[in-house]
């Protein structure tokens, strides 16, 4: 029997407040008494049962015994013969062996040694699950389309939204796990670089930057607390426990993770430069330079100055250089927006990208003669805006790449104009870097949150792969590893303080057959082509100048002939009108 009452209401009254009123009693259903049922009705007894949603658990605990394995080796050399046995005589050795093998001590020793040797043999015969079966095979990874996977996202713990201005991987030997995962660390600097941004007026604006372990994206492992927000941060290539950083107020800070001078997990600078002797603008970039002590670094800023520092004493720079276009100091001072230093290219050579889109090469060996500065193309080859990234090719150090405006350009030290220019992208480029493994692959980030991958050994006219990383503008990029290994993990920072960790496929990380020679051939061919174009341009300008000069000379001769003709006509006229004697 089902008891139901239908309650109706107009749609226009839906959502209105309910008003209760007294009404007449209405009988919906009448249930007969139990006596009215037939004799087959049996009243059921009340049964009470208990229920529980928690599964029953046993009170017994079981834990496996932890076994610690270690690799050992054994070395056996024949010896221990008594004085009466000559080891050089085979007959004496054979008789001694027979006597020893029949003894009970030998049997006991063999019972102890055989299981240990058998265990070692079984370990050697175990299948290696990390073995690369096709390591020596020449595999063409171009058969698969390129792709990238997101592994983790590192979020700025600060309540104020800041940009991830730089990302730098910890410098170490080989920190790759056999499965491909890395146990490395990344140092990320956070700051707001927009001029007169409202966030800079916030009293709660944090100054901290962080070091993350890529296996744990929940919380940073180290917090760096400088006096001013950091704009760039670099690990020391000779010591993974020391870092140098440039700040928003122009000062330089030196951190040593072995010296805890703050609360747990927080590290204050061991040394900091004096603001009066530092840059007048935010530090654009900073690099460790080659030195015997391993304590020297160089920094650049948009104030047009280049400083060399000793991190043991940051009271004042040890050397200074003004980024002037004229060696005599009468030119235009250019503000530096990026810096590149590679010891393989030369311990005294530096590359500087400027806010004006001009590339400058600094060589300290020529500092006394021409200030050591060489200015590259200031015409059609220069960028239309600041150069946020400049980096040498890790395989061919003679060539370097600049990223600016809407294009990426590849240059050579021997030429003043770019040898390769990429097509213009749809949005502004913000940073870029070369792959440490693939000689012809480089990455660029865009302001629309997309990362583009170029492979000039495969195609120089189109992007090889594009990956949407974030909805915000990307600000920095860095790839783990060096020329000896790595190259699969890419860390990309954006304007909202997020650092995305990506893993690219083997086609973008594994070097192809004879790739270095192929890329070198492409660079040399492009260099020869650019040299021919420059020579043709010089000849064209020389021809135009000579033609203009000849036209000017011809015009001068014509004027002289006209003057002589007019003088002759004047003489004839005067002779005709003069009275006869």
DSSP secondary structure letters along 144-195: SPP-EEEEEEEE---SS--EEEEEEEPP-S--B-TTS-B--EEEEEEE--ST
- Over residues 44-71, the pLDDT tens digits come to 777 777 777 776 766 667 777 777 777 7
pLDDT above 80: residue 533: yes
Mean pLDDT of 273-298: 91
- Percent of the chain at pLDDT > 90 equals 37
Given a contact cutoff of 8 angstroms between Cβ atoms, the answer to whether 263 and 315 are in contact is no
Contacts of 275 (CB under 8 A, 6+ apart): 249, 250, 251
- Over residues 29-38, the pLDDT tens digits come to 777 665 665 6
Mean pLDDT of 110-131: 79
pLDDT score at 411: 93
Mean pLDDT of 501-515: 86
Ranges 333-342, 408-417, 502-511: which has the least confidence? 502-511
- Over residues 406-433, the pLDDT tens digits come to 999 999 998 889 999 998 988 999 999 9
pLDDT score at 178: 37
| Residue 148 bridge partners (DSSP) | 504
Mean pLDDT of 255-269: 80
More confident call, 393 vs 485? 393
Given a contact cutoff of 8 angstroms between Cβ atoms, the answer to whether 294 and 238 are in contact is yes
Cα(202)–Cα(163) distance, integer angstroms:
15
pLDDT score at 184: 82
Across 290-294, 377-381, 406-410, which has the greatest mean pLDDT? Answer: 406-410
Mean pLDDT of 269-283: 92
Ranges 19-28, 76-85, 114-123: which has the least confidence? 76-85
pLDDT above 60: residue 26: yes
More confident call, 512 vs 454? 454
More confident call, 220 vs 143? 220
Q: What is the 3-state secondary structure (H, E, C) of 368-380?
A: HHHCCEEECCCCC
Given a contact cutoff of 8 angstroms between Cβ atoms, the answer to whether 357 and 384 are in contact is yes
pLDDT score at 181: 40
Long-range contacts of 369-377 (CB under 8 A, 24+ apart): 369/327, 370/327, 371/321, 371/322, 371/324, 371/327, 371/328, 371/329, 372/321, 373/321, 373/323, 373/324, 373/325, 373/327, 375/325, 375/416, 376/411, 376/416, 376/417, 377/416, 377/417, 377/418
Q: Whole-number mean pLDDT of the chain? A: 83
Mean pLDDT of 201-214: 85
Q: What is the 3-state secondary structure (H, E, C) of 118-134?
A: HHHHHHHHCCCCCCCCC
More confident call, 341 vs 86? 341
More confident call, 207 vs 259? 207
Residue 135's pLDDT band, with cuts at 50, 70 and 90, is low
pLDDT score at 67: 77
Cα 273 to Cα 228, 241, 313, 316: the distances in Å are: 12, 20, 8, 7
Residue 1's pLDDT band, with cuts at 50, 70 and 90, is low
Cα(515)–Cα(530) distance, integer angstroms:
22
Mean pLDDT of 122-146: 68
- Over residues 561-573, the pLDDT tens digits come to 777 788 777 777 7
- Over residues 435-465, the pLDDT tens digits come to 998 899 999 999 999 999 999 988 888 999 9
Sheet containing 485-494: which strands, arranged edge to edge? 148-155, 498-504, 485-494, 474-482
More confident call, 70 vs 321? 321
Residue 510's pLDDT band, with cuts at 50, 70 and 90, is confident
pLDDT score at 190: 93
pTM reported for the whole predicted model: 0.69
Cα(65)–Cα(87) distance, integer angstroms:
47
| Residue 441 bridge partners (DSSP) | 455
- Percent of the chain at pLDDT > 70 equals 85
pLDDT above 60: residue 580: no
Mean pLDDT of 63-83: 72
């Amino acid at each position: 029997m089902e008891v139901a009452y239908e309650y109706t209401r107009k749609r226009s009254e839906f959502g209105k407040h309910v008003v209760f009123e007294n009404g007449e009693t209405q009988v919906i259903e009448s249930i007969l008494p139990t006596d009215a049922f037939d004799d087959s009705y049996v009243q059921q007894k009340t049964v009470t049962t208990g229920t529980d949603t928690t599964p029953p658990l046993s009170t017994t605990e079981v834990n496996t015994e932890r076994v610690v394995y270690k690799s050992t080796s054994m070395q056996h050399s024949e010896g221990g013969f008594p004085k009466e046995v000559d080891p050089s005589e085979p007959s004496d050795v054979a008789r001694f062996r027979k006597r020893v093998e029949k003894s009970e001590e030998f049997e006991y020793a063999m019972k102890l040694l055989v299981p240990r040797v058998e265990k070692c043999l079984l370990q050697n015969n175990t299948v290696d699950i990390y073995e690369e079966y096709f390591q020596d095979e020449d595999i063409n990874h171009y058969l698969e389309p390129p792709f990238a996977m997101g592994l983790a996202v590192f979020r700025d713990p600060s309540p104020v939204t800041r940009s991830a201005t730089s990302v730098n991987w910890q410098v170490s030997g080989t920190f790759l796990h056999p499965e491909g995962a890395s146990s490395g660390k990344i140092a990320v600097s956070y700051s707001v670089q927009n001029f007169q941004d409202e966030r800079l007026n916030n009293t709660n604006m944090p100054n901290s930057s962080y070091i993350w372990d890529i296996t744990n994206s929940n919380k940073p492992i180290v917090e760096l607390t400088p006096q001013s927000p950091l704009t760039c941060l670099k690990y020391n290539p000779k010591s993974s426990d020391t870092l140098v950083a440039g700040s928003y107020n122009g000062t330089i800070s030196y951190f040593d993770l072995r010296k805890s001078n703050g609360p747990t997990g927080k590290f204050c600078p061991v040394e900091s430069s004096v603001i009066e002797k530092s840059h007048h603008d935010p530090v654009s970039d900073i690099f460790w330079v080659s030195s015997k002590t391993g304590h020297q670094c160089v920094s650049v800023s948009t104030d047009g100055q280049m400083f060399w520092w000793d991190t043991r004493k940051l009271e004042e720079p040890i050397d200074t250089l003004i980024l002037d276009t004229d060696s005599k100091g009468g030119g235009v001072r250019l503000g530096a927006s990026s810096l590149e230093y590679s010891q393989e290219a030369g311990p005294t050579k530096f590359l500087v990208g400027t806010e004006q889109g001009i590339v400058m090469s600094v060589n300290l060996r020529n500092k006394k003669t021409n200030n050591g500065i060489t200015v590259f193309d200031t015409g059609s080859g220069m960028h239309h805006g600041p150069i946020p990234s400049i980096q040498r090719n890790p395989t061919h150090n003679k060539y370097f790449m600049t990223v600016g405006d809407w294009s990426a350009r590849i240059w050579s030290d021997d030429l003043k104009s770019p040898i390769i220019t990429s097509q213009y992208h749809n949005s502004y480029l913000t940073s870029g870097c070369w792959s440490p493994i693939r000689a012809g692959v480089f990455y660029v980030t865009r302001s629309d949150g997309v990362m583009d991958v170029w492979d000039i050994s495969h195609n120089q006219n189109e992007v090889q792969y594009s990956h949407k990383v974030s909805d915000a503008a990307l600000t920095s990029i860095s790839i783990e590893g060096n020329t000896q290994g790595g190259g699969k993990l890419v860390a990309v920072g954006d304007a909202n303080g997020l650092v995305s960790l990506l893993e690219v496929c083997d086609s973008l990380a594994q070097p192809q057959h004879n790739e270095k020679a192929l890329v070198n051939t492409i660079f040399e061919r492009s260099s020869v082509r650019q040299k021919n174009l420059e020579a043709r341009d010089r000849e064209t300008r020389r021809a135009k100048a000579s033609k203009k000069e000849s036209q000017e000379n011809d015009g001068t001769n014509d004027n002289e002939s006209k003057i002589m003709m007019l003088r002759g006509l004047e003489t004839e006229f005067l002779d005709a009108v003069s009275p006869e004697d």
